[in-house]
Structures are given as C-alpha cells and as structure tokens.
Amino acid sequence: MQAFLQPFATAGNWAIDLALPPRCPGCGIITGQPHSFCADCWTGIEWLGDGGCQSCGVRLEATDMDTCAACLAKPPLIARTRAAVAYGDATRSLPLRLKYARKVALAKTMAKFMRPLVDQSENPILIPVPLHRSRLWNRGFNQAALLAAELAKLTGAQYDPFLLWRSKRTAALRGMSSLQRKREVAGAFTVDVRADLSGRKVILVDDVLTTGSTTDGCAKALAKAGAARIELICWARVVRPTQLVR
C-alpha cells in the first residue's frame, strides 16, 4: 500500500514546493534547498562550530592551548558550551522571528546547524532552558523546547521538556550587569523530584547565549539533582559585549 501511495506523495510534495518554494531564512529569497541560507547571507554569518576553548567555546588566539585561561583557573559547571553562529545582524532575526512572530518552522532551520555540535556519547538527555509558566502561557510555546525537540528528531537522543522547571518568575535580564543577572536567576530553577539524573549527561538547549547567567542557574539545579556532566548547545552566542545593549 505504501509503495502504491508513494507516487502520489511525491507529486504532492512537488506541488507544494512549486507553490511555496524554499526561501532563505535570512533574507527571504528563493533557495534550492529548504532551511538553507543563500550565498550572500551565508558569507555574512560568523560560523562558530566546534572550535575554540574545549570547555567554554571562546576563541583561542596565538596559543597552542585547547582550554582558555579562565576555564583552567576555574572550570565551569557547564563542561562544554557550543553555538552554531555568532549573534549578529544576519543571525539574530531567526530567534526573534521564532519567538515573537511565531515562525516556528525556523526551529528546524536552527536545529539543522546546531545538530553537528551535539555530542551523543554517554547517552545524553536533551533538556530545554525552561520558561516560567506565565511567559509560556503568554507566548504559547518555549522556543528552546522547539529546538530541543528538533535536535532529538535529528539525533535520536532522549528529550525531556518537563524535567527542568522555572519555578520563579524573573525580571527581564536585558540591561542588567552580570552580577545582577546572577542574583536575579538564583534559585529560579527546579528539577522534577521524580527525575533520576544520577550519573547522567545532560545537554541544555537554548536559542541565544548572552552572559550565561540563566544557563548557569539551570546547571546548578541539574548538578544538585545528580547530573554527572552538563553541556550547552545553542543557536547563537554573543561574542561582542556591545551587542547586549541593542
């Protein structure tokens, strides 16, 4: 039966592609492949990938070391942080449109480029950075959960959107100093009491990494619950502090 229906499915997909051809998620022009950037947008994106400090992922320049001085002096609770791209003009529109314009299909695009950064050793569990329930009700979805779900489809990794909760509603962190952000998110996250994370590797998933205060708060709760190793994968990270005030 499936073999009989396949030609009709193929014809249907062709008709959809003809009516709604794939477009560049950056500028909107028609492209050859879905969830792919055009040549101009591609060259305008600062791709980060799996380079940099083996722990925090920041660039390492003029050194043979594989770990930055800051991580050597004080190993971070999040053992490995990776982002697909640097936060900039060509990349910030995707998470903004995903969150505020409800362009949920962009989660597939972002996850496509995040997927190579997922280390599937040690049977990891993907956990999205949670929203407080009031913001979740207002928005209708958690963008980090959409990304984590897409990554789970692409990798086959375990995924649990309900294991970590944002139990305290925090103020908007934009404009706050690093210390103010840490104080604001302190104690804001709770792990489900029924969860068993003993000895598990957890990969946090988020859209944009700024100062890391929120993800550090998540990591503290996960470590307290017994997680053996915590990593972070996100779409974009701020690599130039001046971008925080935009």
User: pLDDT value at position 135?
Assistant: 83
Residue-wise pLDDT tens digits, 137-146: 888 899 999 9
233 pLDDT exceeds 50? yes
User: pLDDT value at position 240?
Assistant: 67
72 pLDDT exceeds 90? yes
Give the percent of the chain with pLDDT over 70.
89
- Confidence class for position 2, pLDDT limits 50, 70, 90: very low
User: pLDDT value at position 128?
Assistant: 98
Hey, what are 229's tokens?
């190793």
Across 202-230, average pLDDT: 95
- Confidence class for position 241, pLDDT limits 50, 70, 90: low
Candidate from 6-10, 61-65, 123-127 with smallest mean pLDDT: 6-10
Question: Going by C-beta distance under 8 Å and a sequence separation of 6 or more, which residues neighbour residue 48?
Answer: 57, 82, 83, 84, 85, 86, 237, 239
φ, ψ of residue 219 in degrees (nearest 5): -60, -40
Candidate from 15-19, 51-55, 192-196, 230-234 with smallest mean pLDDT: 15-19
CA distance 8 to 45: 38
Residue-wise pLDDT tens digits, 149-161: 999 999 999 999 9
User: pLDDT value at position 140?
Assistant: 87
Burial zone of 61 (CB within 10 Å; 0-12 exposed, 13-18 middle, 19+ buried): exposed
60 pLDDT exceeds 90? no
- Confidence class for position 230, pLDDT limits 50, 70, 90: very high
Beta carbons within 10 angstroms of residue 195's beta carbon: 18
Give the percent of the chain with pLDDT over 90.
62
Average pLDDT, the chain: 87
Hey, what are 75's tokens?
């190993």
| 136 or 78, greater pLDDT | 78
Q: Which fold has domain 49-245?
A: Rossmann fold (3.40.50)
Candidate from 99-103, 149-153, 180-184 with smallest mean pLDDT: 180-184
Residue-wise pLDDT tens digits, 108-120: 999 999 999 999 9
- 110: nearest Cα among 153, 148, 147: 147
| Domain spans of the chain, in order of start | 1-44, 49-245
